[in-house]
Amino acid sequence: MNVPFIDLNNVYELHRNEIDIGIKTVLNSGAFILGKYVGDFEMNISKYIGTSSLGCANGSDSLLLALMAEDIGIGDEVITTPFTFFATAGAISRVGATPVFVDIDPRTFNIDVSKIEKALTKRTKAIIPVHIFGQPAEMDKIMQIAKANNLIVIEDACQAIGSKYKGKMIGTIGDYGCFSFYPTKNLGAFGDAGLISCSNEEKYEKLKSLRVHGSKVKYYHEIIGFNSRLDAIQASVLDILLPYLNENNNKRIKIAEIYDNELSHILDIPYVSSGVVHTYHQYAVLVRDIKDRDLLSQYLTKMEIGNGVYYPLPLHLQKCFNSLGYKEGDFPVAEDIAKRILSLPMYPYLDNDQIDYVINSVNSFFNK
């Protein structure tokens, strides 16, 4: 048997008719840039998330747009986690600000809120918590620190659309929510696409202007923005897939439950904080003995089971951030997790035989 790490063809196969019609409709209309189909999707996704939301070119840009909307730049510091996809910290550097990393919680892999206050300085302007793998960060504490210190909170919800924290939709708790529709995300387009949610009307208007080179009236520019529009064809695809998102997230949760039950005796399974809905963008386990991670990965690959290490090198140790002056040992939790973590196949279309095959293969590795 062969269990791919992710199977994107399935999405098109399952929705072929609707998607073919949707794309053809856009092609026939000629409304390729913003316009009706982007507007329709923005309306529907805003309803889903519960806050006004604007499409943009990708998730990385949504982070950049949020920072630009707050005029965060040279001389400013932004606190975030070293255990995330590069884009989180990359956006901070791209606006000229300095990423300030804080170690993670060993159970949730999210920013350790007990360590944020020690990282604050006069220059701190914002916190970017990441809801890693679909698990919500500890937002109550983060919002409390932000309020006490007059900081902006930008939620990197790129892996967590549909996740909930104490009944609230992820991306609606901070000042901004940033989402990615990269094809492998829980709601994936057939190319690049992103979204930013923001409940402040003035900032919403600013974001709208920033994504079209800082103009409200065409060819008149009040501020400097860039081109980061959501593509109309991608918007039409997303509008078709959005109604299936909750059902698909629930399927992920069910699969995680099966994995949990069958693997917890040999691996550390994902921890779920109380009061949250975790949507399992990744199902990431920890091996108990560091030596086993690469061996297990190789074994699964040999058994034709897709698997992946997210993330092998925490951001504070990335070459491009050498100038920030971090060194090995600065964030021992993130460094340890990076050596022990492994993601197993996780998507709504995994069938029972595939799930059993993954479970049996992991078990046979440890029973050898």
Residues near ligand PLP, by CB under 6 A: 58-60, 84-85, 87-88, 130, 156, 158-159, 180, 182, 192, 194
In whole angstroms, the minimum distance from the beta carbon of 78 to ligand PLP comes to 14
DSSP 295-329: HHHHHHHHTTB--B-S-SS-GGGSGGGGGG---TT
Nearer to ligand PLP, 69 or 130 (CB): 130
In whole angstroms, the minimum distance from the beta carbon of 220 to ligand PLP comes to 29
Nearer to ligand PLP, 22 or 59 (CB): 59
In whole angstroms, the minimum distance from the beta carbon of 310 to ligand PLP comes to 9
Point out the residue whose Cβ comes nearest to ligand PLP. 59
Nearer to ligand PLP, 282 or 361 (CB): 282
In whole angstroms, the minimum distance from the beta carbon of 194 to ligand PLP comes to 5
Nearer to ligand PLP, 89 or 303 (CB): 89
Looking at this protein, which amino acid is placed at residue 79? I
In whole angstroms, the minimum distance from the beta carbon of 314 to ligand PLP comes to 13
Looking at this protein, which amino acid is placed at residue 176? Y
Closest CA to 179 of 59, 311, 270, 65: 59
Q: Identify the sign of the CA torsion 114, 333, 265, 363.
A: positive
Closest CA to 92 of 102, 101, 83: 101
User: In the chain, how many H helices and how many E strands?
Assistant: 11, 14
| Rg value, the chain, Cα | 21
Nearer to ligand PLP, 145 or 170 (CB): 170
Please give the structure tokens belonging to residue 245: 């998102």
Q: Is residue 214 a contact partner of residue 221, using CB atoms and an 8 Å limit?
A: yes
List of residues 6+ apart from 351 with CB closer than 8 A: none
Nearer to ligand PLP, 283 or 357 (CB): 283
In whole angstroms, the minimum distance from the beta carbon of 81 to ligand PLP comes to 9
- Rounded CA gap, 198 and 187, in Å? 19
